[in-house]
A and B are shown apart, each in its own frame.
Chain A
Amino acid sequence: MTLDIETLVDLYRDMWLIRAFEFGLEREFKKGNVPGMLHTGVGQEATQAALAAHLQASDAFFPDHRCHGINALAQEKHQGDGERIMAELFGRATGVCSGKGGSLHSANPKVGNFGDNAVEGSYMATVLGVALAYQMRGQPNVACCIIGDGTVGRGEFHESLNMAAIWKLPVLYACVNNGYAISMPVGKGHASADIVDLARGYGFPCEIVDGNDIEAAYDAVQRAIAHIRAGNGPYFLEFKTWRWQGLFSGEFRPPEEVKYWKEDRDPLKLAREKILAQGKLTAEDLERIEAEVKAEIEAWIDFAKASPMPDPAKATADVYVGWEVAA
């Protein structure tokens, strides 16, 4: 399919926002300004931008480890303060969870972000309940869980797909198959390198999507969400993609594979070519967009750095609802 130029440029901007966010974050992480661990979504921008484009604030999504981008997009799109995702990763009081959650636990229900759970696969069970609440209340909302290929190894994968199928729940499974679960290649860790092969037995629609082609990703998410909103039950999308970040110890994948994905299959480069092929924007127009986005991300980083640290006394707040815990 071919998208109209306005939509395509919007998505291009969103994808750039994700990449600039992650590169900026990685730079600050290396400087020691960002605590904890860092999993970036560079290379997977098309999937996240496509999901963010179609999910409404009244829907729910459970982000995975590499989802700073969609978290920031949802925050920016629905509330205009994407910098609060950055501040959360810096552990600041201005973050979406006031610094309590960090990279792997950023949530904001007002924008549909129901939070990552750092035990991969755990939210594959949680998403069922969100979907069930929508169903029981007759609401046409979608509960989406974004999972990696590694997550498929969890028992919750089976429990979730099975229960979603028998109860016909409005769940969108967005499986971002980036080829590796940390170091484990997908074909070695699972009975099939195509995750849809493991999902098809549950009897609802499953599709393989080119996760680096923004038009294909946008189209697939649109189709899946329309199916779910119409009350037809769950939908499974497997986005074939590749993550740019290697291991903490460095790159572990063969040079030809790295070259292929970074140079030939870069989702931003592919999107750029599509835009230019329509002949309505020039390379300079796109460079201006990129510069704007990068400047915005730098402002977010400045905001995060300038934000206060949380009050240490908040460490004992909200353990229980309505009950205090002794400090």
Chain B
Amino acid sequence: MTQATTRTRTFVQALNEALDIAMARDPNVYMLGEDIGEMGGDFGVTRGLWAKYGDARVRDTPLSEAAIIGTSVGSAMLGMRPVAEIMFADFIGECYDQLVNNAAKMHYMFDGQFKAPIVVRTACGGGFGGGPHHSQSVEGWFLNVPGIVLVAPSTPADAKGLLLASIENDNPIIFLEHKALYRIKGEVPEGYYTTPLRKAAVARAGSDVTVVATMKLVHEALAAAAELEKEGVSVEVIDLRTIRPYDAETVLESVRKTGRAVVANEAPKIGGLAAELSATISEECFHDLKAPVARVAGLDTPIPFSLVLEKYILPGKEQVIAGIRSVMK
């Protein structure tokens, strides 16, 4: 990956490249979802692929999320590699049973006789006035589900490498695409490569405090770190990348080094990823901690429509800074 030529690409373009490469490499890979065909998906992630691969491998579906995931699982049981698109993560309620009781348990309950290597791409996250049903961060809905994998890239390069790795992986994967990241640009290597699952990235090295973040909040944390650097605070930012099962080792190693931890996740604070990380860090690093772990998360409300209201409840750079200050006291 380090030798490869890179180009500047948006997050969407990077995902599109990954899908194209995966489709070309393996005839078992196919895609299904609402409006992913000629239209290219609601966010353009599948644009051009229907023209290239045709109806059979780029399948438009009716508004039937349970059938989309059920179809994915059934075909995966026979070795296909479906990549399903659930247009908005909020719609996952419609196929929650398929994911939780079917995909996640298939390998286990049938004693390893079946695998369910599905990738469910879905657009999540708020910040654009999408309202209560087009803005949620759903990772918490799956944290308590053994067997499910949650992947959450924050950069175009990782989006491509993690999507390719996810399609090749034998487990059922929910691939979270934060809508605020779709148009960001970054250097993306050409051609085929994978980024390892279950491996967090140190997005910025630092020595005073560790911020563990996901998706959009990685960028907010980096912005916070740049600002606090001016005050002489050295912030290490860990981009979790895989949320379940997550890379505790990298997180704990960083916290043992810095002695301070802030966990930042857009979903509501109660029972979410921030709570899980906070608990694990507290359990494992209690004697290394110079301050209690701070959680930066959404307020405990649905997501309101008006941008003023939405901004009030979702965490951003200012909340991350406040979190860091609280543990630096």
List chain A residues, Cβ under 8 A from B73: 125-126, 129
In the complex where A101-B109, A127-B74 touch, is A155 in contact with B66 (Cβ < 8 A)? yes
Q: Is the CB of A166 within 8 A of B62?
A: yes
List chain B residues, Cβ under 8 A from A133: 74-75, 77-80
A158 to chain B: closest residue by CB = B64
* Stretch in A108-116, A217-225, A234-242, A267-275 touching the partner: A108-116
B67 to chain A: closest residue by CB = A159
* Residue from the set B64, B108, B171 with the largest chain A CB neighbour count within 10 Å: B108
B195 lies within 8 A of chain A by Cβ: no
List chain A residues, Cβ under 8 A from B82: 129
List chain A residues, Cβ under 8 A from B78: 129-130, 133-134
B: interface residue count bin: 35 or more
A107 lies within 8 A of chain B by Cβ: yes
Q: Is the CB of A129 within 8 A of B72?
A: yes
List chain A residues, Cβ under 8 A from B69: 125
Q: Which of B74, B113, B114 contacts A132 (CB 8 A)?
A: B74
A124 lies within 8 A of chain B by Cβ: yes
Q: Which of B66, B102, B111 contacts A101 (CB 8 A)?
A: B111
* Residue from the set A114, A166, A317 with the largest chain B CB neighbour count within 10 Å: A114
Taking CB atoms and an 8 Å cut-off, the chain B residues in 84-135 that contact chain A are 97-98, 101-102, 107-115, 117
Q: Is the CB of A156 within 8 A of B111?
A: no
Q: Is the CB of B114 within 8 A of A115?
A: yes
Q: Is the CB of A130 within 8 A of B101?
A: no
List chain B residues, Cβ under 8 A from A143: 74
Q: Is the CB of A130 within 8 A of B77?
A: yes
Number of A interface residues in the complex (CB < 8 A): 44
Complex Cα gap A131–B147 (Å): 24
Q: Which of A108, A129, A318 contacts B74 (CB 8 A)?
A: A129
List chain A residues, Cβ under 8 A from B109: 97, 100-101, 105, 115
* Nearest CB in chain A: distance from B159 CB, A: 22
Complex Cα gap A118–B112 (Å): 18
Taking CB atoms and an 8 Å cut-off, the chain A residues in 46-100 that contact chain B are 96-98, 100
A160 lies within 8 A of chain B by Cβ: yes
A44 lies within 8 A of chain B by Cβ: no
Q: Is the CB of A136 within 8 A of B30?
A: yes
* Residue from the set A96, A114, A321 with the largest chain B CB neighbour count within 10 Å: A321
* Nearest CB in chain A: distance from B111 CB, A: 4
Complex Cα gap A114–B78 (Å): 10
Q: Which of A98, A114, A128 contacts B71 (CB 8 A)?
A: A128
A178 lies within 8 A of chain B by Cβ: no
Q: Is the CB of B74 within 8 A of A317?
A: no
Complex Cα gap A47–B163 (Å): 45
A312 lies within 8 A of chain B by Cβ: no
In the complex where A126-B74, A131-B74, A320-B149 touch, is A159 in contact with B30 (Cβ < 8 A)? no
A260 lies within 8 A of chain B by Cβ: no
Complex Cα gap A115–B110 (Å): 8
Q: Is the CB of A124 within 8 A of B112?
A: no
* Nearest CB in chain B: distance from A310 CB, A: 9
In the complex where A163-B71, A320-B171 touch, is A107 in contact with B30 (Cβ < 8 A)? no
In the complex where A97-B113, A127-B74, A130-B75 touch, is A319 in contact with B108 (Cβ < 8 A)? yes
Complex Cα gap A53–B76 (Å): 27
In the complex where A129-B77, A159-B66 touch, is A117 in contact with B102 (Cβ < 8 A)? yes
A325 lies within 8 A of chain B by Cβ: yes
A33 lies within 8 A of chain B by Cβ: no
List chain B residues, Cβ under 8 A from A254: none
Q: Is the CB of A323 within 8 A of B110?
A: no
B282 lies within 8 A of chain A by Cβ: no
Q: Is the CB of A321 within 8 A of B170?
A: yes
Complex Cα gap A177–B97 (Å): 24
* Residue from the set A133, A155, A160 with the largest chain B CB neighbour count within 10 Å: A133
* Nearest CB in chain B: distance from A90 CB, A: 15
Q: Is the CB of B80 within 8 A of A136?
A: yes
The 10 nearest A-B residue pairs measured at CB: A125-B70, A129-B74, A129-B75, A321-B170, A159-B67, A133-B78, A159-B64, A97-B111, A129-B71, A126-B74
6 pairs, CB–CB < 8 Å, chain A vs chain B: A105-B110, A119-B101, A127-B70, A159-B67, A163-B67, A321-B170
Can you add 7 more A-B contacts, CB < 8 Å, to A107-B114, A319-B108? A101-B111, A108-B113, A125-B67, A127-B74, A129-B74, A130-B75, A156-B70
